[in-house]
Amino acid sequence: MFRSFRFYRLEDEWPSDEAELAARLETVAFAPCGPFSEQSAGFEAPSGVEGDPLFRRVAGAVLLRLRRQVRLLPAAAINEALPERIAEYEARMGREASRKERRQLRDEVYGELLPRSLLRSDRLHALVLERERLLVIDASVPARAEQVLDRLRDALGTLKVQPLTFRDPIGALLARILLGDGPRELRLGRECRLNDPASARSIVQWTDMDLSDDEPRTLLQNGLRLLRLGVEFEELFSGVVDQEGVWRKLKWPDVGAADVGDEDPLARLDTETTLLAGAVRRLVSLLERVLGTAAS
């Protein structure tokens, strides 16, 4: 299941034909880093099985998984090898190396060490709700979400998206929830972050605490700005929501695990994707009802 939500509205048509989508994603399929490549990124099968399709469509949703691989070459490794290389060069040339030559020698050391460096991979999931024209990326940091968007644009040729917005700001809804006036589907969680608008560094935070106490509400009413708030959505999931509507620290009940079992990973993946898509649809529908639909 996702650990965070970052929502986008699709403005371009999403390929409805599975063969077309598969062919386009194949053009940006993951390939391991070459010996002289610092990083590589591309889509891989959400099932985790090599050779499976690069997407999984279930319940009107398309699940994607981006894999990014980077080479880990610490600067300390270069700095340790560089003095010896400079000393050899100066002994051979009979003079001190210039600044430009030192940079060139550093590049040589880097090029020699890079193919022997360790590799590390991380993965990002994305979910496309086709009928709702929504894209949800499991990334709390914008730069991470852009990695998915960039590769999708490479695959599809173009992909116009906009962050999901509503007529009224998310921050107003978060304030209502903290003050006890939110919709019944959104309950107050156990995390809150406020700051003084006059000083960005002046932050008050509660973590894993009962927020029914008067202190956070009083501070909000006295002019502090609400940055993040723990929220529970029905019985589906909980997380921490910021002013942009990004959800972090998502926690899910272990629904469906006992029924599906560990012996059928694809069935479990489909179950989780169906539950995820349903939860996102219900959340966005509620937000549109409470906050209003943004003008197109």
**How many Å apart are CA 239 and CA 280, to the nearest integer?**
13
* Mean pLDDT, range 55-70, rounded to an integer: 96
* pLDDT over 90 (residue 1): no
Q: Are 63 and 54 in contact (CB under 8 A)?
A: no
Burial level of 244, CB count in 10 A (0-12/13-18/19+)?
A: middle
Structure tokens at 267: 């069935």
pLDDT at 198: 86
pLDDT in tens, 248-267: 999 998 755 555 555 689 99
Any residues with CB less than 8 A from the CB of 214 and at least 6 apart, and which? none
Lowest mean pLDDT among 72-81, 232-241, 254-263, 277-286: 254-263
pLDDT in tens, 96-118: 999 999 999 999 999 999 999 99
Q: Reduced to 3 states, what is the DSSP secondary structure of residue 85?
A: helix
Domain residue ranges in the chain: 6-73+116-163, 75-115, 170-291
pLDDT at 262: 58
Structure tokens at 87: 């000393």
Any residues with CB less than 8 A from the CB of 78 and at least 6 apart, and which? 106, 109, 110, 113
Q: Are 102 and 86 in contact (CB under 8 A)?
A: yes
| H helix or E strand, kind and range, residue 218 | helix 214-221
Q: With cut-offs at 50, 70 and 90, classify the pLDDT of residue 73.
A: very high
pLDDT in tens, 2-19: 999 999 999 999 998 999
Express as a percent the part of the chain with pLDDT over 90.
88
pLDDT in tens, 42-54: 999 999 998 999 9
Structure tokens at 219: 């501070």
